[in-house]
Amino acid sequence: MIAAFLRSGLIQQLRRFLPQPPMWSFEQHAPKPLRLSSVRELPTLTNPPPRIAIVTPSYNQRKYLEATVASVLGQNYPALSYHVQDGASQDGTVELLDAYGGQVSWRSEPDSGQANAINAGFKTAAIDCDIMAYLNSDDTLLPGTLCYIAHVFQTRPDIDIVYGHRIFIDSDGSEIGRAVFPPHDANALLYVGYVPQETMFWRRHVWDQIGPIDETFRFALDWDFMLRAQQAGFKMVRLPRFLGCFRIHAEQKTSAMIDVGQEEMQLLRRRYLGHTPTQPEIYRAAMPFLALQLCYHWMYRLKILKY
């Protein structure tokens, strides 16, 4: 979704006013080892801990899937249901998953796409859970994310959906950039799908009311889910923490489906705005949020904000 927006005429207009918007500037610096701040202490959970279900849809992503699975299992979260729904890959994915034994639930069978795989996976993983998320097979969670998310949901019963800041990594897992977000902006979300999907978690009752993922979408399925949740009145909050990594590589879906993405994004804008907005209208509506995001980015770079 974001890559398509990058290539649109709108982002070219934005670049005239905003120097290198960090949300869409993936390769911000040369690759370097990923290091996290020392402020990432793990909170203490009350018993029993919330049950978390995570699904990873995958198809011929063996070379990245191992890092994805490791980032989930490495959380050492005590109440985790993790399922990989594979689309009958032929690249060694099945052998990799089989090697995990009982650590990972998985199934390999043909599907009709990412959304179909996610929905099928949740039929297995989310039978008995309190919190849900899906993590694509080339992205990763950062250490301590699940414990932190569980603590937020335990201590903030008013919150339904959360997301956080993201780190951009390359095909080798080296850091190439970061995106720091301001607080959630419901109006901006109607125009721009800015929420980093790999950092998003929601309560089970959200899924029960608005799920499943709409399988007619091939590209903007995450934005559609967020908009449906927002329209239903669920409270969405941006958390002050880096939660996941979005991998940039040559084969990724967001680099190969630009035209489809543009069509789906305009469809969603028509659906929730009641009309097809022009690029100047999108620009005017998104500009306050984008300007604030740029401020947060530089406050983080200058160490005024610490995450």
pLDDT above 70: residue 3 = no
The string of pLDDT tens digits covering residues 175-197 is: 999 999 999 999 999 999 999 99
Q: What is the mean pLDDT of the chain?
A: 91
Domain span including residue 181: 2-49+138-301
pLDDT above 50: residue 6 = no
pLDDT above 60: residue 18 = no
Domain membership of residue 129 (yes or no) is: no
The string of pLDDT tens digits covering residues 113-132 is: 999 999 999 998 888 999 99
Domain membership of residue 33 (yes or no) is: yes
pLDDT above 90: residue 148 = yes
Long-range contacts of 8-15 (CB under 8 A, 24+ apart): 8/262, 8/279, 9/279, 10/279, 10/282, 10/283, 13/279, 13/280, 13/283, 14/283, 14/286, 14/287, 14/290
Domain membership of residue 80 (yes or no) is: no
- Report CA Rg, the chain: 18
Domain membership of residue 92 (yes or no) is: no
pLDDT above 70: residue 71 = yes
Count how many domains the chain has.
1
Domain membership of residue 61 (yes or no) is: no
Domain membership of residue 119 (yes or no) is: no
Domain membership of residue 184 (yes or no) is: yes
Whether the Cβ atoms of residue 185 and residue 287 lie closer than 8 Å to each other: no
The pTM (predicted TM-score) of the whole model is 0.91
Whether the Cβ atoms of residue 53 and residue 81 lie closer than 8 Å to each other: yes
Residue range 134-146: average pLDDT?
Answer: 98
Whether the Cβ atoms of residue 236 and residue 227 lie closer than 8 Å to each other: no
Residue range 210-229: average pLDDT?
Answer: 97
Which of the two residues, 66 and 298, has the higher pLDDT score?
A: 66
pLDDT above 80: residue 255 = no
Q: Which amino acid is at 214?
A: D
Q: Which of 109, 165, 161 is nearest to 131 (CA)?
A: 161
- Per-residue model confidence (pLDDT) at position 4: 44
Domain membership of residue 114 (yes or no) is: no
